[in-house]
Amino acid sequence: MALAERMWLARPARARRPGSGSFVMAVVLIVLGFYLLWPVMLLMINSFDARADWFVGTREWGLDHWRTAWRQPGLLLSLANSFMIWALVVGISFPISVLIAWILARTSIPFSRTLEFLFWISFMMPGISVTIAWMTLLDPDIGLLNVALERLPFINDSPLNIFSIPGIVWANIMTNGIAVKVMLLTPSFRNMDASMEEAARVSGASNLTTMLRVTLPLMISPMALVFALQLLRIFQSFETELLLGMPFGFFVYSTKLFQMIRGSDPPMYGQATVLASLTLLLIALIIPMQRWVITRKRYTTITGSFKPGLINLGPFMPVVVGGIVLLLVLLTIGPASVLLLGSFMSRAGYFNLDPVFTLEHWQLVLTDSLFLKALRTTLVLAITSSIMSPLLFSFLAYILVRTRLRGRWALDLIIWGSGAIPGILSSLGLLWLFLGPFPFGPLSNLRPLLFMFGSIWALILAVVIQGNTTGTNILKGVFVQVGADMEEAARIAGAGWFRTYFQIWIPLLMPTLILLGTLNFVIAAGTTSSIILIASRGTMTLSLLALEFASPGVGLREEASVVSLFIMAMTVGVALMARAFGLRLGLRQEMRASATNPQGSQVAGSR
């Protein structure tokens, strides 16, 4: 009896013995949790540190900062302003984006694929560059458009003012309000079965009635998904509100947080952390709302009897094409042209100077050692992030989809949770992680990560954190679609996991990895909020330099235009090269598929 009891007790111990996979999962959870979630948790913890200076003396726990924060002027108003700007931008841009996606996917509009790609180009253009362009156009004193309108006999004063709430809303729509929604919605509209639409038209319904009563109800699910993704962007915007809101004292959450830390002497770390904590509580309420919206409805739009169909807009076709082309000019060619013109003017908006045009601003920027250092830092940051991020995201997606390791739910939760953290909040958390000691325990007097502050590795970490949720979930979808037979064959042939991953999976994932690499290059080249609190003068990037030049206290808008043109050329150039390479890669894959499986290629062509 005693022997049987000992054997029974020993059996579970052998069954629960952790293997190498459990060790890998533990390391991944610890590392990601430390860099993704721990900085944010530090903000909540440190909001109860009652010291006036967090870097002097021993900790004093209390509610002093919470009491003081409520007396800070405009603290709650900044949160309300964030919701207001988000609601106005989404309320205007969402219907426009749905209509454009429907036109590109469901009508016989010419060059629909090219027009769709131009919206991708708009998405690739950094927000800081587009905002500076609209400042050059709509400044109430020297804006190029206002100067032109004042020459009309019936206009005396500048009719347009970018430094206003409508100006902030307009700039947000032009930077990230329309392009990303069109990108996400157009493929869903294109994949929808046209049978029900044709049935409605046979019954006598017009194209407009069919769209409102058939197409849009069927597309509720993807539209709800896009709307839910936009919920997480309530607190994301920064540079547009900083440049356009500060001149007339308008603050949103991110700019108020920045003012407390960088705009006050001494920095109000305590009150800023309280504001960050309040934002975290609001985000904790938004995430369940987002998940509820996503899972609320499900509609099937692609069936086994899939039948594509296009609507002829008839006499309205020229008007529709002209409207979309005009919008694309405002989103892409317009801002680039304005930046180019302004960079060559002695003073943007002044046509009575002698000379009107000059090369002085270009000479000043190109010979500035700070610009050259920022250019080098931006290239290192963007190239390194575009290579490291897709590989890391593919590894995380592989663990979540292709393994049965315990703790995958926790890993997925960490990845999703980090995606809801705004860039400025993540930057503040990393700032405290690098500069501040551990809040308690044996490390409470040490700053083990102080060497990271202001380094290029800190910026790379911030950029990777910024894109990990999107990148990992895109690759999860690819892993789900690809069968495991080739991986199993490689294992049977004796290949280990490392060799199998880099010789089987990486080639299969290459088109998606190129896409994610391009997106991460664009993010790294144009980001401001996620790195602004942890960058130093030695790791200044082009986006931060443009923001500094264009800020109200400096006013070097022409020099900011020069820097913005460099950022725009980098991001759009990389996007065009990646598309060209991706098309050649896709063509080779299609040719191989045609040679090995003619029926499969025919099906692919029909889709």
CA distances from 70 to 65, 205, 274, 410, 491 (A): 9, 57, 9, 35, 61
Residues 82, 266, 547, 360, CA torsion sign: positive
pTM here is: 0.81
pLDDT value, residue 11: 43
Q: 244: Cβ–Cβ under 8 A, 6 or more apart, which residues?
A: 131, 135, 162, 163, 164, 167, 168, 171, 250
Q: Is residue 301 predicted with pLDDT exceeding 90?
A: no
- Per-residue burial over 534-553, b if 16 or more Cβ lie within 10 Å, else e, is bbeeebbbbbbbbbbbbbee
Q: 142: Cβ–Cβ under 8 A, 6 or more apart, which residues?
A: 347, 348, 349, 350
pLDDT in tens, 243-256: 999 888 899 988 88
- pLDDT category, 439, cuts 50, 70, 90? low
pLDDT value, residue 180: 86
pLDDT value, residue 91: 92
- pLDDT category, 34, cuts 50, 70, 90? confident
pLDDT value, residue 261: 82
pLDDT value, residue 96: 93
pLDDT average, residue stretch 87-106:
90
Report the C-alpha gap between 158 and 154 in whole angstroms.
12
Quote the strand ranges of 113-245, DSSP E.
none
pLDDT in tens, 43-77: 778 778 777 666 666 777 778 778 777 777 788 88
If one compares 607 and 552, the residue with the highest pLDDT of the two is 552
CA distances from 119 to 90, 116, 514 (A): 17, 5, 19
**Nearest CA-CA partner of 395 in 465, 497, 518:** 497
Q: Is residue 15 predicted with pLDDT exceeding 50?
A: no
Domains and CATH numbers, the chain: 89-251+302-358 (1.10.3720.10), 360-607 (1.10.3720.10)
